[in-house]
Structure 1
Amino acid sequence: MDEAANIKLSEVLPLRTDEFPDKLDLRIPFGNLVGDIFEITGIRRYEDEFQIEYYSHPNLLKKVPQRISVYFTAFLKAVEFHENLYSDYNHVDDEGHQYIIISYKTSNTFDTIENLIGEGNSAILDLKKEVDVTVNGFQWKNEYDTDEKPFTLDVVLPLLRRMKFNFVKYTHGTNEYGKDIVFSEFSKFGQLKYHAMQVKPGNVGGGAKGKIKTLIEQAESAFSIPYTGQESRDEMYISSFTFVISGKFSEEAKREVLYRVPEKLKGTIHFIDKEKVLELIERYWVI
């Protein structure tokens, strides 16, 4: 039988995750607010998997102009697009107030409970941003035109999840080999197909020879060097590569990239600009 205990969150944050007892169901008193909406109410461990429970109550949603049920329904729908987030249907407490519980589950290795909680909180905050777009509509920010990171995190990553791609992962860094984002999908034959994206801010024109050369080199690296993802420990090679920018591609730039890439890559490289991004947001994200 699972053990249950009540304790303040601050008392367990310094613990190493390997010190947290297996099958312990830790109940956390209210007072640990995440994103002005959710409270951390529980931490569980079962073998190598940890679960953090987040409770939402309408008393925490007084600033939301929409009906509570609309907002909660959007949360429950959004959870379906995240591999590590789970939820069930709306609940009603003894006073007749509606609430939902969302759980973050992970088998990843963390040094401390504090780091584990930090990862769960980040997932909940990202979820809240997505729900705000669903309910209130999408607003393009000026920083997306010049800064790759917010464009990637706020727009491209959640959009890919909304399009029901699997294992969407942000891989930007020194060893990305042209892949800012990797993701996958099942073909109609039931086989996983792997894809990658390179994200850039601003416009790409035909006169930007240095930028176009860099794009081509990144595409070649992305195809030639495999990656290891969440779905498998095996090395995986991508079958398509997409350039996503927050501005506009000139037709000349696209022709030059497609003309100069190796023959074997023709037909596997795609381009998405701001106009297409906004079209996809309206189709897959906003209600």
Structure 2
Amino acid sequence: MPTLEIRLYVSTTEVGANRILELMSFAFGEEDYAIATTEIDEKADIWEASIYLMMADEEDVRPRFEACLEEEFPEASIEREVIPDIDWIAKSLEGLKPVRAGRFLVHGSHDRDKVQPHDLAIEIDAGQAFGTGHHGTTAGCLEVIEDVVRSRKIRNALDLGTGSGVLAIAVRKMVRIPVLATDIDPIAVRVARENARRNQVVEGIDFRTAPGFHSTAFGQHAPFDLIIANILARPLIKMAPQLVAHLAPGGTVILSGILASQRWKVIAAYSSAGLSHVRTIWRNGWVTIHFTRGKG
């Protein structure tokens, strides 16, 4: 059955966008609907709020979606779009070519013949979890991972927000150390574990579903010599003190999922938490930031 997307457009600030997400989460947080907010015009402060549902649910969901927002955002405009029933995994693979980041070559199963003998090949097919290596944030992380693992001794690592598992797999491919890979989404954790098995490194990676740093998994593995978090700028800034608290003296942090315009906010948050900025890699409007912690 086709999926329906209902979109709301509103001119507001980032605070207003957070309020929209809060209202939608309150209205639909206990139900199985995907909701999201995205800034589509930074200069004009235009935000889009979306909810995805099955066509059969529109009669019930649309009035509730409009009602939860109309009081605080009466000027908003609403559109609907039917999303055809397409095999998106197969469709997305049609245009995906192997991606090289240093010695890493991230490829789909349809491009195994492109792997060269010297490559650190990671096979990831597009699927239910984020991270095929084609996004600038993932490729930037891979490039820094190679440099860090080559230049310093790493005894254990954390991939926070592992998605498809590509970064945890990359670390394990380079050095045979224990890696903790966590995500708030249990589906992502399952997919990441399957990807690790496909890449023959599942034995060395502990995959866990963990919201934030509250899980016992972090205490069991910390402190980490290397922490990688390819998430988004806002949660990265918020979790800076906790993340640094789990980092070993002399440890390395690699952060991405950060728009170029957000770079200085992230650097300020982690500098305040005691880290030193080493360098920033720029890819297609996104940045990957490398920090270290003094041995103290």
Same fold per superposition (TM over 0.5): no
* TM bin (shorter chain): under 0.3
TM-score (norm 2): 0.24
Q: Which has the larger share of strand?
A: 2
The TM-score, its normalising length taken from structure 1, stands at 0.25
Larger Rg: 1
